[in-house]
A and B are shown apart, each in its own frame.
Chain A
Amino acid sequence: MSKAKLVILDCWVSPFCMRVKIALNEKGLEYEAQAEDLFGGKSELLLSSNPIYKKVPVFLHDGKPLCESIIIVNYIDETWSSPPLLPPCSYGRAQARFWADFIDKKVFDACGNIWRSKGEVPVEAKKEFIEILKQLEEALGDKDYFIGTTFGFVDIILIPLTSWFFAVEKIGGFTVEAECPKFSNWMKRCLQRESVAKVVPPPEKVYESVLMFRKMQGID
């Protein structure tokens, strides 16, 4: 067992793990990221800390495990209060939680419907993906970040998923910038933050991994 106080059981390409690392970086916290081999063999620590789902990320605070990335980010925000990731008022927090839930329910699956398709990508899949981004664009409006003027909870939940968008664009034959320019600007704004840039891998690296997953799943 690591002597580090804060540990994340991690996988570099997992957008869910990226969420946790960005939150920890925002709070200026030191942590140890233990890389899990999700295909070769999950560690005993992972299997015992997350017996229900056996997935990453798992966050260990003084050895006490927590699972599910949104819950972990919430915990990090409540335990280390500065800077706050959620807005101060209850209604603002409810809005943030609503959008985090929407993102979790919709975005990754919509990506999967594109990158997992065999042969021609169905028009419906592309249409649905763009529609979801447009709904997020509308929620963003003219703001720099999702809930107000500062980078926060919803941005942290969403920005890691965008590291998979290059792969989706290549396979789907479209670009997010052309379809949703406001969203694309928000992405660039977030990626300039050190807490995010340190964590989000280059899109080409993710694309290589996606191609590998396609081979593994017999799609290519």
Chain B
Amino acid sequence: MADEDVVLLDFWPSPFGMRVRIALAEKEIKYEYKEEDLRNKSDLLLKMNPIHKKIPVLIHNGKPVCESLVQVQYIDEIWPHKSPLLPTDPYQRAIARFWGDFVDKKIYDLGRKIWSTKGEEQEAAKKEFIECLKLLEGELGNKAYFGGENLGYVDVVLVPFYSWFYAYEKCGNFSIETECPKLIAWAKRCMEKDSVSKSLPDQDKIYDYVLHLKKVFGIE
């Protein structure tokens, strides 16, 4: 493969950024990682993502691709020969996209409610969060990964949230493993892969970050 210029504008605790890190690692693509300070966004970020002004931004040969699900699909198409993430069959691809979209619609917002609210609102978020994880467990079934025998699109989209589970558990005072043992087993299996373990920060670091956010936003 010819020399590719790949840059990732990212923020270390972002599960969306982690998706792109994992996808690039699976494809064994070398890239330049640029950490953004979200309180002081770089000119490059604002120029490359003028619409949303958010990370992650993938810059490939100078051209930006934004939105993590779009980025993961782009990476899969540009470098198809190693670790294909989406299946080849159109129906299976649609199913994978459906579950990726489900994760995107639900997990981040519910997780955020768990660490940032209390009382009834937090309990409702915890309940719905577990329900969503159980639905995902159902989709996983007896497979090693959502992608079958190897990491696939849904694995890449979902597993970054595993780095946030400890923070959710501490803030929400519950155990995700007790409720969803199969999903935790799946996450640990993913973490055995370098592409995942090197892309996710330690759960302790994420918890410290959440405590910092709670202080900044004045949340108990």
Contact = CB atoms under 8 A, between A and B. Distances in A.
A71 B63 contact: no
A98 B78 CA distance: 16
A94 B73 contact: yes
Interface in A76-124: 78-79, 90-91, 93-94, 97-98, 101-102
A52 interface: yes
A62 B152 CA distance: 26
B94 A94 contact: no
Nearest to A78: B90
B220 to A, nearest CB: 31
Contacts of B98: 66-68, 71
A93 B101 contact: no
A48 interface: no
Interface of B is mostly: helix
Interface residues of B, number: 23
Interface stretch (B6-14, B64-72, B203-211): B64-72
Contacts of A79: 90-91
Interface residues of A, number: 21
B118 interface: no
B70 A66 contact: no
Nearest to B132: A52
B46 to A, nearest CB: 15
A174 interface: no
Interface of B: 51, 60, 63, 65-67, 69-71, 73-74, 77-78, 90-91, 93-95, 97-98, 101-102, 135
